[in-house]
Structure 1
Amino acid sequence: MVLHNGAYDYPEDIQLNEYDPLNEAFLYPQTPPDAAPPDYSEPLDALKSSAASHPQPTAGLPYSTTLNSSGKLGGARLLYFTSVFVSLGVFLFGYDQGVYSGIITFPAFQKYFRHPSSAQIGMVVSVLELGALILSLTVGYMADRWGRKRTILLGAGVFIAGGAVQTFTGRSILLLVLGRVVSGLGVGLLSSVIPLYQSEISPSHARGRLACVEFTGNICGYAASVWIDYSCTFINQNSNLVWRVPLFIQCVLGLLLFAGAFFIVESPRWLIGKNDAHGYLVLRLLYADSPETAEREFHSIKEAILREQTLSPPEQRSYRAMFRTHFRRLVVGCSALLLAQLNGINIISYYAPLVFAEAGFKGNDALFMAGVNALVYLASTIPPWFLVDRWGRRPIFISGALTMGTCLFLISLAMWMGGKSTPTFVALLVVVYNAAFGYSWGPIGWLYPAEIYPLSIRAKGVSLSTACNWLFNFIVGQMTPILQETISWRLYLIPGVCCLVSAVVVFRYFPETKGVDLEEVGSLFDGY
């Protein structure tokens, strides 16, 4: 059956109602009144066969169903497999964020690059965020024009190139910075499009859990980088392999993501928004366990798209129009990731061995403690899998901010007072702080912006929110080693205050999105 204007092709068992803009009776697939209901017990392979008669998807790449003839990877299995696999993308930028925390302390690295200054070290570490910032601003355009899947492929390819430059660089620290910038470009793409993709393939009742699984992948990458750094300390410390091996591993991981991304499904919401019939088929694959749910999701998505197309024509979907019509949502979405950075996480993540050394740990003990901290950090990301869709976003945001602020104030106090017990006390507080972030602002900070924007500007809104994250990530990474030298223990008071401010901002301005369909989130902002 074909839409009256020829824009949308449906499978053979679907007929269409007319769209009446006066009473908002929006177009959706429906069984005709004089016919028996369609039989959705038919094998899913039959649906795939029926799609063969329709035009190929506009994105231009094959849309793998990842289904074999027995349908073993349909439904929930396909959904969770896809979610776990794309988490490899956030694993990559978690790995890249943590890998230099140990490398910058290696004598071989220091000697090879002629003992770089604190400012140069800060640049090498933080310039990743500068590259991420630059390209994250364009992700909205890329993801809307090319699709979520092709943007993931591009991000993985760019990341591999940057990792190769870092691994095989000469003695110039400028080349190392260049490779780090290129990797940052890939991270900017992946960090914007993967949360977007994740939110668009997830059902509302599990959207929070799947986003938290994604963040666990990020921290798994961070923890892996710290322990790989520690393992490399057992290599000959005079060999350049001690720092080249951790950098080469990121290239291998990027290649895995690039190869595997050819086999994931495209976002059904993006396909439906492009009037591509494969969007409905993807929903039938993702909801193979419940065809009725696939129908319901299709109705909801298509109605929302048509409503937005009627009320928001293309000229009203630009960045300028987005600031005018959705300014409050933009402020909330950007502040979620901006505050996550100002709350101090990357003071610990990027420079954990230096923080432990400042507290009194010596040599490899500081790197070992950073590894222990990373494992606790990783474990702390698991409770949100089960809590985010029960408690909601707001309670987790607020409790995390208050816990982190308390830990940071106590870290400052302990370093100011000194004493024999200071290293142990600071180590305990850092671990608790990291766990509080891993359970709260880490996963929920990335989930929340992807939930609150309407489809017409979702890609642009998420990319702008992500750009704010990388901008303040860069500022924190660049300033931390300098402030550690100049103001010492007072440094931790700054993010401590920001944590308290964050709790107030969430309480006052962040609506609860738990269990709300993406197409209905807009109504939540009416009371804020």
Structure 2
Amino acid sequence: MAGGAIVSTGPIKNYNGGMTAFVFITCVVAATGGLIFGYDLGISGGVTSMNEFLKKFFPSVYKRMNDDSIKQSQYCKFDSQLLTSFTSCLYLAALVASFFASAVTRIFGRKISMLIGGTVFLVGSIINGIASNVLMLIIGRLLLGVGVGFANQSVPVYLSEMAPAKVRGALNMGFQLAITIGILVANLVNYGTAQMKKNGWRWSLAIAAVPAVIMSVGSVLLPDTPNSLLERGHMEKAKSMLEKIRGTSEVDEEFQDLMDASQQSKMVEHPWRNITQPRYRPQLVMAILIPFFQQLTGINAIMFYAPVLFKTLGFGDNASLMSAVITGLVNVFATFVSIFTVDKYGRRFLFLEGGIQMIVCQILVGTLIGLKFGTTGEGSMSKGYSDLVLILICVYVAAFAWSWGPLGWLVPSEIFPLEIRSAGQAINVSVNMFFTFIIAQIFLNLLCHMKFGLFLFFAAWEIVMTIFIYFFLPETKNVPIEEMNRVWKQHWFWGKYIPDDAVAGGIQLSAGKSVA
């Protein structure tokens, strides 16, 4: 091992209890928080490709699209900073909100964060549905962003804390499944409302209120996690809840480990300062690089602008929306692959396989588009050629949906010790939202200037991130969440950052007493 003598960390513990109906139901309800994020990801691209919406709010883009006298590259028809600001401002708001959500999650619990997120998102969806000018649209989107920031901060942590170690991956991925269902529903709604003669876009935006209500009501009904109860000093309630979610009264060993972690957590007065200490270096690096890489797969560019992208590639209005529905269906079904395999084959296998598959697809899509449109953006695709591009994009979406999609949320949410967990998740969400904002803001401009090379740009990043996972991410499947330091201690690179007393089973408390 790099960094000194090998330290015996002992076997990973197997706690009593297992999957219960109570845990399954609570995790399903909590995971619906992903619906609001997914619905928003899917709805904006369809709405921004609707002529009525563009004519009302973005007339210059509408004119470029429909005026044949304007000489315009196929790659650049939708390039508008105001249009992309409508999509991307949400993620800037989510970035800021995630830091407030971190404090709320730590002090008041995970479910209060979910309730705030759902309520604010509901208000934003109503404002967007009745919008009469661009300012109202932007205000509504900013409120949606606050809701997304709170939901994405609290839901993955809640799921990781409720789930037994052996099925934590599958249950946590319920969040990603809800995101993909939200995207699919949004694509179906867009396809339906596009057929309406008037105000179809209003319905698309206003229906976001439905997942917001589901999340808000669900959060009121949810119980608190044992970790959160301990964090706020409710010891008896925490043990009772642990017995309930594990389905057994024999939880003393796991409860003791939670108590030790909570005790250590209370010694940390400044989690934001502490998270920069060398002992938390592996977790901090992962919380920054995993969401950073997740956005540079290029998936959100496709999910935001799928209808716009397909329209750019020569699909008709309805054909582009239907193509987005097809990719949405692939996204949902491929996520199930991850749910059923993540705790069997592990996180690393899915990361690596998905990365290689995405690299191949991005290179092929970029090459095919380059051959047809070249650098001028002039030309058109035959139906067979368009179908081939659609198939490759679907294979790419499938790879993301069983790798970087769910794992980008799962891995950061399960690796942080309790004392810095809320701060770590806030960093994860804020980095994710920041680069989601950047990609959303510049994608159409990049498409205009880089043309087919944009797909090769994303492929190059996918090569980098796949190499990073191979060398630097240890396997975390079936490891109890409070035992995670053992995994880092055994890693060839990260082991040198983890002090001996940080390994669960021998945590040194400030009084000098070793807790076995």
TM-score range (shorter-chain normalised) is: 0.7 to 0.9
Match in the other structure for 1:349: 303
CA 460–403 in structure 1, closer or farther in 2 if over 3 Å, else same? same
Distance 2:311 2:207 in 1: 26
Distance 2:351 2:58 in 1: 43
What letter corresponds to residue 155 of structure 1 in structure 2? G
Match in the other structure for 1:366: 320
Q: Is the 8 A contact 1:353 1:370 kept in 2?
A: yes
Match in the other structure for 1:302: 259
Following superposition, the deviation at residue 340 of structure 1 comes to: 0.6
Q: Is the 8 A contact 2:107 2:232 kept in 1?
A: no
Q: Is the 8 A contact 1:76 1:287 kept in 2?
A: yes
Greater alpha carbon shift after TM alignment, 484-493 vs 460-469: 484-493
Equivalent of 1:525 in 464, 481, 488: 488
Match in the other structure for 2:285: 331
Distance 1:256 1:371 in 2: 23
What letter corresponds to residue 104 of structure 2 in structure 1? M
SS of equivalent residue, structure 2 residue 311: helix
CA 205–342 in structure 1, closer or farther in 2 if over 3 Å, else same? same
Equivalent of 1:135 in 97, 105, 120: 97
Distance 1:397 1:257 in 2: 29
CA 415–188 in structure 1, closer or farther in 2 if over 3 Å, else same? same
RMSD in angstroms over aligned alpha carbons? 1.6
SS of equivalent residue, structure 1 residue 265: coil
Following superposition, the deviation at residue 307 of structure 1 comes to: 4.5
Following superposition, the deviation at residue 305 of structure 1 comes to: 2.6
TM-score under structure 2 length normalisation? 0.84
Verify: 1:101 aligned to 2:59, yes or no. Answer: no
Match in the other structure for 1:465: 428
Equivalent of 2:156 in 174, 188, 195: 195
What letter corresponds to residue 416 of structure 1 in structure 2? G
Match in the other structure for 1:243: 201
Equivalent of 2:87 in 115, 125, 130: 125
Q: Is the 8 A contact 2:117 2:146 kept in 1?
A: yes
Following superposition, the deviation at residue 453 of structure 1 comes to: 0.7
Match in the other structure for 1:174: 135
Q: How many residues align?
A: 446
Following superposition, the deviation at residue 128 of structure 1 comes to: 1.2
Q: Is the 8 A contact 2:261 2:419 kept in 1?
A: no
- Kindly report structure 1 stretches of 4+ aligned residues shifted beyond 4 Å: none
Match in the other structure for 2:238: 279
Verify: 1:411 aligned to 2:365, yes or no. Answer: yes
What letter corresponds to residue 92 of structure 2 in structure 1? L
Following superposition, the deviation at residue 295 of structure 1 comes to: 3.3
Distance 2:172 2:268 in 1: 30
Distance 1:449 1:174 in 2: 35
Verify: 1:496 aligned to 2:459, yes or no. Answer: yes
Following superposition, the deviation at residue 256 of structure 1 comes to: 2.3
Query: Unaligned regions of 5+ residues in structure 1, if any?
Result: 1-73
Following superposition, the deviation at residue 127 of structure 1 comes to: 1.1
Distance 1:383 1:253 in 2: 24
Cα shift readout 1:172-202 (whole Å, capped 9, x = no counterpart): 2122011101110110010111001111111
SS of equivalent residue, structure 1 residue 90: helix
What letter corresponds to residue 89 of structure 1 in structure 2? G
Verify: 1:217 aligned to 2:178, yes or no. Answer: yes
Cα shift readout 1:504-524 (whole Å, capped 9, x = no counterpart): 111111111111111111122
Distance 1:334 1:143 in 2: 20
Distance 1:430 1:114 in 2: 28
Following superposition, the deviation at residue 388 of structure 1 comes to: 0.5
Following superposition, the deviation at residue 406 of structure 1 comes to: 1.0
What letter corresponds to residue 84 of structure 2 in structure 1? G
Equivalent of 1:390 in 319, 340, 344: 344
Equivalent of 2:403 in 440, 456, 464: 440
CA 396–517 in structure 1, closer or farther in 2 if over 3 Å, else same? same
Following superposition, the deviation at residue 415 of structure 1 comes to: 0.5
Query: Unaligned regions of 5+ residues in structure 2, if any?
Result: 1-17, 62-79, 373-380, 495-516
What letter corresponds to residue 186 of structure 2 in structure 1? S
Distance 2:346 2:141 in 1: 37
What letter corresponds to residue 400 of structure 1 in structure 2? G
Verify: 1:87 aligned to 2:46, yes or no. Answer: no
CA 327–489 in structure 1, closer or farther in 2 if over 3 Å, else same? same
CA 282–75 in structure 1, closer or farther in 2 if over 3 Å, else same? farther
Q: Is the 8 A contact 1:195 1:446 kept in 2?
A: yes
Identity over aligned pairs, percent: 29
Q: Is the 8 A contact 2:268 2:274 kept in 1?
A: no
Following superposition, the deviation at residue 370 of structure 1 comes to: 0.8
Distance 1:472 1:181 in 2: 16
